[in-house]
Amino acid sequence: MTDAAIDGLDVIDGLELLICGLDSHGTIHVFNRPCERLTGISRSDAAGRSWLDLFAPGERGDHVVAMWHQARPDAPTGPYEALCTNSRSIRWHFCRWDRGRIPGVVLWAVGIDLTRDREALVRVREVERVVALGNLVSGLTHELRNPLNGALLQLALAERSLARSRDEAVAPAAAAIEHASVEIRRISTLLDDFLVVVRPQPIRLERCDVRALAERALDRGQPKATAAGVSIALEPSSEAIAAVDGSRIETAVFQLLANAIDAAAESADREVRVRVRALGNAVAIEVEDHGAGLPSDAPIFEPFYTTKQGGTGLGLAIVQRVADDHGGRIHHEQRPGATVFRLELPITGGVAS
Amino acid sequence: MPGAMSPDKMRSLVISPFAAERIALAEILRSEGYEVIAVADRSEGLALAGAERPDAVIADAQVPGLDGRALVRDLAARGPMPCVILLCPRSGRALESEDVTCLTKPIDLGALHQLLARLAAGPRAA
């Protein structure tokens, strides 16, 4: 490509469009600035290379060539979409124009980079899919509550009938009813937790003292701690203000606390410590126990992963969900003799702000 | 409002299309001395609410063709508002008012008894 060939073509460099001038073999002679920016290849390096190799690798070359032949000045062919070498998605139109003043150039390829539009579309579709799935799951879990309620009430009725009997032979039946009731209540808890994980819910951000939320979570966890013979304590600190959805943060901290209480209950050191710290542009909540700890490769944040008998495996998935919704993160750290879960939240409310 | 009622003078109307729920609820409440009418059908339930004037209506919040809000409206149109307890498959806090309480399924029988006992003890405001 000579400088003479580029002279007078400044106008095509100023466009957002990709413009290539090709000879009858599809060899590049003109390569505008947007083409350089897109491919990372300079016009001097692009000159002499095959347009097909650069912009439509792996595509059917004969198909493109056939389009080139159909192209006329008054009737451009296309659109033709292809992924170029760096995986950007380009929509091309071809136009024959062999009366120009650039020697050898008979065909012009004009392209628009659709990558960002495509990515946005993919994100929109993904969100739509998640919302649709969430609504479906939400509908199902609500429907399931009707038969669960019927079953539990019937069991309560049976329990009352048996309680009136003086016959000791009914004792196993009464125990069976109690077991069945516990299992049905477990399904109900599972549905509640599952909904939190799968259903996209808008978060309501308000400036809150995260320390006060942690205190509330500790109050909620106290009966469980007492029953397990575990002591729970919030370490002294100053207030930590952040824009958060208070009830969901309280739920997340409660989930972390409940896990820590379970771990502490199985260990010699029956103490769980909670810390809240202001970190400049973030607030961190740490929950520490001295139980057996977790294997480093365990998929603990995956829904339904659990190490506990009777666990739903949704507790940490809930925490992850709450962290994600706040633009924060949840982190697990195994220190010698201590397991620490750390929930970090941006003070501005992150993604939702 | 009437004064304190003993359970056997309190009348409850149960409206639910779910047989297991309806039958068990009616039996449990009867065993505790409440007078109970139980029906599956909504319009039959509304007619009974008008004719029998129950003290409490315990209804599934999603009786087919009717949501909790519409049920409350239709009951109010038939005379003095009974105490309404809606059994909701999801949190029904938005439906609650002075006369309407929601219990999320599966319901806590203890909470239901408390509500009915409070009603039996005297005026709702108490």
pLDDT tens digits, residue range B62-121? 755 456 777 788 888 887 778 899 998 877 677 777 788 889 999 999 999 999 988 877
Number of other CB atoms surrounding residue B77 within 10 Å: 10
Q: Rounded CA gap, A346 and B101, in Å?
A: 38
For residue B123, name the pLDDT band (cuts at 50, 70, 90): low
Q: Kindly report whether the peptide bond that precedes residue A79 is cis, defined as omega within 30 degrees of 0.
A: yes
Let me know the angle formed at the C-alpha of A24 by A22 and A27, rounded to the nearest 5 degrees. 45
Q: Rounded CA gap, A83 and B59, in Å?
A: 60
Radius of gyration of chain A (CA): 32
Residues with Cβ within 8 Å of A347's Cβ and at least 6 positions away in sequence, in order, are: A241, A242, A243, A278, A281, A282, A283
For residue A97, name the pLDDT band (cuts at 50, 70, 90): confident
Q: Kindly report whether the peptide bond that precedes residue B106 is cis, defined as omega within 30 degrees of 0.
A: yes
| Contact (Cβ atoms closer than 8 angstroms) between residue A272 and residue A289 | yes
Positions of E strands within B82-126: 83-88, 100-104
Amino acid A231: pLDDT:
95
Of the partner residues B25, B28, B105, the one whose CB lies closest to the CB of residue A146:
B105
Per CB-CB distance under 8 Å, the chain A contacts of B104 are 145
Q: Test A184 with B31 for CB contact under 8 angstroms.
A: no
For residue A135, name the pLDDT band (cuts at 50, 70, 90): confident
Q: List pLDDT tens digits, range A5-27.
A: 454 567 778 778 999 999 988 99
A144, A146, A183, A192: best to mutate for the B interface, most B CBs within 10 A: A146
Q: Is the pLDDT of residue A226 over 90?
A: yes
Let me know the angle formed at the C-alpha of B114 by B42 and B55, rounded to the nearest 5 degrees. 40
For residue A306, name the pLDDT band (cuts at 50, 70, 90): confident
Chain A nearest CA to B120, separation (Å): 22
Let me know the angle formed at the C-alpha of A307 by A303 and A308, rounded to the nearest 5 degrees. 105
Q: List pLDDT tens digits, range A243-271.
A: 999 988 998 999 999 999 999 999 999 99
Per CB-CB distance under 8 Å, the chain A contacts of B64 are none
Q: Rounded CA gap, A158 and B21, in Å?
A: 13
What is the token pair recorded at A222? 């106290």
Of the partner residues A147, A151, A157, the one whose CB lies closest to the CB of residue B27:
A157
Amino acid A4: pLDDT:
41
For A25, phi then psi, to 5°, come to: -95, 0
Chain A residue closest in CA terms to B89: A142
Residue-by-residue DSSP string for A233-276: EEPP----EEEE-HHHHHHHHHHHHHHHHHHHHTSS--EEEEEE
Amino acid A238: pLDDT:
86
| Contact (Cβ atoms closer than 8 angstroms) between residue B24 and residue B106 | no
| Contact (Cβ atoms closer than 8 angstroms) between residue B34 and residue B11 | yes
| Contact (Cβ atoms closer than 8 angstroms) between residue A102 and residue A115 | no
**Identity (one letter) of the amino acid at A274?**
V
Q: Rounded CA gap, B112 and B12, in Å?
A: 12
| Contact (Cβ atoms closer than 8 angstroms) between residue A304 and residue A242 | no
For residue A350, name the pLDDT band (cuts at 50, 70, 90): low
Helices A171-198 and A115-163 pack at an angle, to 10 degrees, of 160
Amino acid A353: pLDDT:
36
**Identity (one letter) of the amino acid at A297?**
D
For CA atoms A310, A315, A318, A324, give the dihedral sign: negative
B21, B63, B67, B91: best to mutate for the A interface, most A CBs within 10 A: B21
Number of other CB atoms surrounding residue A122 within 10 Å: 10
Per CB-CB distance under 8 Å, the chain A contacts of B60 are 146
For residue B8, name the pLDDT band (cuts at 50, 70, 90): low
Which residue from A188, A183, A180, A186 is spatially nearest to A158, judged by alpha carbons? A180
**Identity (one letter) of the amino acid at A1?**
M
With residue B59 as reference, give the H or E element that holds it: strand B56-60
Residues with Cβ within 8 Å of A186's Cβ and at least 6 positions away in sequence, in order, are: A310, A312
What is the token pair recorded at A214? 């942690």
With residue A300 as reference, give the H or E element that holds it: none
For residue B1, name the pLDDT band (cuts at 50, 70, 90): very low
For residue A339, name the pLDDT band (cuts at 50, 70, 90): very high
Residues 112-141 of A with CB under 8 A from B: none
pTM of the model: 0.60
Q: List pLDDT tens digits, range B16-60.
A: 999 999 999 999 999 988 999 999 988 899 889 888 889 999 999
Chain B residue closest in CA terms to A150: B21
- A100 DSSP assignment: S
Average pLDDT of chain A to the nearest whole number: 86
Of the partner residues B28, B90, B105, the one whose CB lies closest to the CB of residue A156:
B28
Amino acid B5: pLDDT:
58
Q: Test B90 with A185 for CB contact under 8 angstroms.
A: no
Chain B nearest CA to A302, separation (Å): 25
Q: Test B28 with A153 for CB contact under 8 angstroms.
A: yes
Of the partner residues B31, B62, B106, the one whose CB lies closest to the CB of residue A152:
B106
What is the token pair recorded at A138? 């939400």
Per CB-CB distance under 8 Å, the chain A contacts of B87 are 149
Per CB-CB distance under 8 Å, the chain B contacts of A160 are 28, 31
3-state DSSP helix/strand/coil percent for chain B, to nearest 5?
A: 40, 20, 40
**Identity (one letter) of the amino acid at A49?**
R
B28, B105, B109: best to mutate for the A interface, most A CBs within 10 A: B105
With residue A316 as reference, give the H or E element that holds it: helix A315-325
Residues of B with CB under 8 A from a CB of A: 18-21, 23-25, 27-28, 31, 60, 62, 87, 89-90, 104-107, 109
Amino acid B92: pLDDT:
67
Number of other CB atoms surrounding residue A129 within 10 Å: 10
Q: Rounded CA gap, B116 and A227, in Å?
A: 31
Interface size, chain A vs chain B, as Cβ–Cβ contacts under 8 Å: 54
Q: Rounded CA gap, A318 and A308, in Å?
A: 16
